[in-house]
A = this chain, B = another copy of it.
Amino acid sequence: MCTVCGCHDEQSRLISIEQDILSKNNRCATINRNYFRGRNIFCLNLLSSPGSGKTTLLIETIKALNNEFSVSVIEGDQQTSFDAERIRKTGVKAVQINTGKGCHLSARKIGRAIDELKPAPDSLLFIENVGNLVCPAAFDLGESCKVVVLSVTEGADKPLKYPDIFHAADLMILNKIDLLPYVDFDVERCFEYARRVNPDIQTLQLSATKGDGMNSWLNWIRQHRKTT
């Protein structure tokens, strides 16, 4: 829960606690990372606002790759197990983490979910983080790559307004491009803003519901699975 966030008003008192928590999180993340590396598991941490289409993107990705790889999923939400239930309908294993009042997934929670999920060696593991463009940026989960998803209905200025998450990401996926004719959104300007906060960020655009651009995302996964 983020009621502890008053840290910026309480800087002197809380900065050491903050460092302590992040350092403990980093230790758990290292354990997760070693686990993934030891089993050649390619783990992607998907980050976005609520409603950017992460779950639909995951379902279409699983349908496309399920014959190629073993896939499992960790779902994060404040409440409900809607997303894990949607994922399980594709036939893959999914664990739901409910964070209650919490605004992000922690490496420790991922460690516990891995114990339950037991992802296969050489598999793909997707983590769908809590929908939040702010807080999850600070928490390393031990993932192979961070992927930030933005939808075209959210506005092209978001990389500059919420820079931390775009700075932390390896890949930015622009989703819902089928809605571009109906909204005021400048794709190139948005990608330029993302590169301004993170010159190394890779970018893709797609529509998970209509299928446009999905192949470039699937190929990105295949390629980065080999090299990460």
Contact = CB atoms under 8 A, between A and B. Distances in A.
Contacts of A218: none
Nearest to A25: B6
Contacts of A182: 178-179, 182
Contacts of A163: 78-79
Nearest to A138: B3
A100 interface: yes
A178 B138 CA distance: 36
Nearest to A8: B102
A51 B154 contact: yes
A103 B132 CA distance: 9
B135 A103 contact: yes
B6 A5 contact: no
Protomer copies: 2
A148 to B, nearest CB: 12
A5 B135 contact: yes
Interface stretch (A16-24, A36-44, A87-95): A16-24
A174 to B, nearest CB: 12
A9 B111 CA distance: 13
A211 interface: no
A209 B8 CA distance: 35
Interface residues of A, number: 62
Contact of A138 (B2, B78, B164, B176): B2
A28 to B, nearest CB: 9
B78 A162 contact: yes
B18 A17 contact: no
Given A1-B138, A83-B161, 19 more contacts: A1-B7, A2-B103, A2-B104, A3-B21, A4-B5, A4-B17, A6-B106, A9-B108, A49-B133, A50-B133, A50-B161, A51-B155, A78-B161, A78-B163, A82-B160, A132-B134, A134-B135, A179-B179, A184-B209
18 contacts: A1-B5, A2-B138, A3-B139, A4-B18, A5-B21, A5-B102, A8-B101, A8-B102, A49-B49, A49-B131, A50-B154, A51-B151, A79-B161, A80-B161, A82-B157, A153-B176, A179-B179, A179-B183
